[in-house]
Structure 1
Amino acid sequence: MRRRARRARAGGPVRTTGLLASGAALAVLTACGGTALGDDTYVLHYTTYSNPTSDQSRTAQRWAEEVEELTDGGVTVRLHYSESLVGADESAQATLDGRADVAQVGSIYAASDLSMFTVIELPFETDNPEVQMTAIERLYEENEVYREDFDRQGVRLLFPLPLGSAAIGLQDEVTGLDDLRGRSIRAGGLTSDVMLAAGANPIGMTANDIYESMSRGVVDGYTSLALANLPTFGLSRTTPYLLDPGIGAYSSSIVVINEELFQSMPEEYREALTEASAQGISNGLEEMDALGEIACQEMVENGTEFLSLPEEEVAVWKEEAGVAERWVARYEERGYDARSVLDDYRRIIAEETPVSDYADPLVACTEGERE
Structure 2
Amino acid sequence: MQSTYTAKRLRWAGVAITSTALLLAGCSAGAATDAETDGAIGSLSLKFTSYASPTAPISQALQQSFDALAESTDGAIEVEPFWSASLLSAPDGLAGAADGRADISLITAAYTPSEMPLSQLLGVPFVAPSSASVSLALKELYDTSPAFQNEFSSNGVHLLAVIAPGENIIATTDPIEGPEDLEGLQLRAAGYIANAVQEWDANVQALPATDMYESIERGLIDGYTSFAYELIASFGLNEVATNITDPGTGPYIASYIVINKSQWDGFSDAQRDAITASYENVADWSTEATLEIEAATCDTLLENGGSVTVWDETKVKQFRDKIGDSLLKEWKATASATGVDPDAFYDELQTALDDVGDQERQTGLQECASR
TM-score above 0.5: yes
Contact 1:130 1:285 in 2 (8 A): no
> CA 1:164 to 1:339, structure 2 compared with 1: closer, same or farther past 3 Å?
same
Q: Hey, what's the Cα distance between the residues in 2 that align with 1:49 and 1:121?
A: 19
Q: Hey, what's the Cα distance between the residues in 2 that align with 1:282 and 1:110?
A: 28
The residue that corresponds to 2:297 in the other structure is 295
Residue identity opposite 2:62 in structure 1: A
Question: What secondary structure sits across from 1:153 in the alignment?
Answer: coil
The residue that corresponds to 1:329 in the other structure is 333
Query: Which structure's residues are more often strand, by fraction?
Result: 1
Q: Hey, what's the Cα distance between the residues in 2 that align with 1:83 and 1:212?
A: 17
Counterparts of 1:228-247 in structure 2, within 5 Å, are 228-247=230-249
The residue that corresponds to 1:133 in the other structure is 135
In the TM superposition, what is the alpha-carbon distance from 1:252 to its structure 2 partner? 3.6
Where structure 2 has 5 or more consecutive residues not aligned to the other structure, the ranges are: 1-32
The residue that corresponds to 2:28 in the other structure is none
Question: What secondary structure sits across from 1:76 in the alignment?
Answer: strand
Contact 2:245 2:309 in 1 (8 A): yes
Aligned pairs, number: 338
In the TM superposition, what is the alpha-carbon distance from 1:83 to its structure 2 partner? 2.1
Contact 1:128 1:360 in 2 (8 A): no
Q: Hey, what's the Cα distance between the residues in 1 that align with 2:150 and 2:120?
A: 14
Q: Which gives a bigger RCO, structure 1 or 2 (Cα 8 Å, sep 6+)?
A: 2
Counterparts of 1:1-371 in structure 2, within 5 Å, are 37-38=39-40, 40-321=42-323, 322-354=326-358, 356-366=359-369, 368-369=370-371
Question: What secondary structure sits across from 1:132 in the alignment?
Answer: helix
Question: What secondary structure sits across from 1:277 in the alignment?
Answer: coil
| Greater shift in the superposed pair: 171-180 or 72-81 | 171-180
> CA 1:175 to 1:251, structure 2 compared with 1: closer, same or farther past 3 Å?
same
Contact 2:121 2:127 in 1 (8 A): no
Where structure 1 has 5 or more consecutive residues not aligned to the other structure, the ranges are: 1-7, 11-33
Contact 2:41 2:270 in 1 (8 A): no
Q: Hey, what's the Cα distance between the residues in 2 that align with 1:73 and 1:335?
A: 44
In the TM superposition, what is the alpha-carbon distance from 1:270 to its structure 2 partner? 1.2
Contact 1:174 1:180 in 2 (8 A): yes
Residue identity opposite 2:338 in structure 1: R
Identity of aligned residues (%): 26
TM-score (norm 1): 0.83
Say which one has the larger Rg.
1
Q: Hey, what's the Cα distance between the residues in 2 that align with 1:285 and 1:293?
A: 12
| Greater shift in the superposed pair: 188-197 or 168-177 | 168-177
Q: Hey, what's the Cα distance between the residues in 2 that align with 1:42 and 1:181?
A: 53
Question: What secondary structure sits across from 1:178 in the alignment?
Answer: helix
Listed one character per residue, the Cα deviations across residues 318-353 of structure 1 (whole Å, up to 9, x for unaligned) are 243221221011111221111122222222223323
| Greater shift in the superposed pair: 171-180 or 329-338 | 171-180
Query: What's the Cα RMSD here?
Result: 2.4
Question: What secondary structure sits across from 1:59 in the alignment?
Answer: helix
Residue identity opposite 1:159 in structure 2: A
Q: Hey, what's the Cα distance between the residues in 2 that align with 1:291 and 1:37?
A: 41
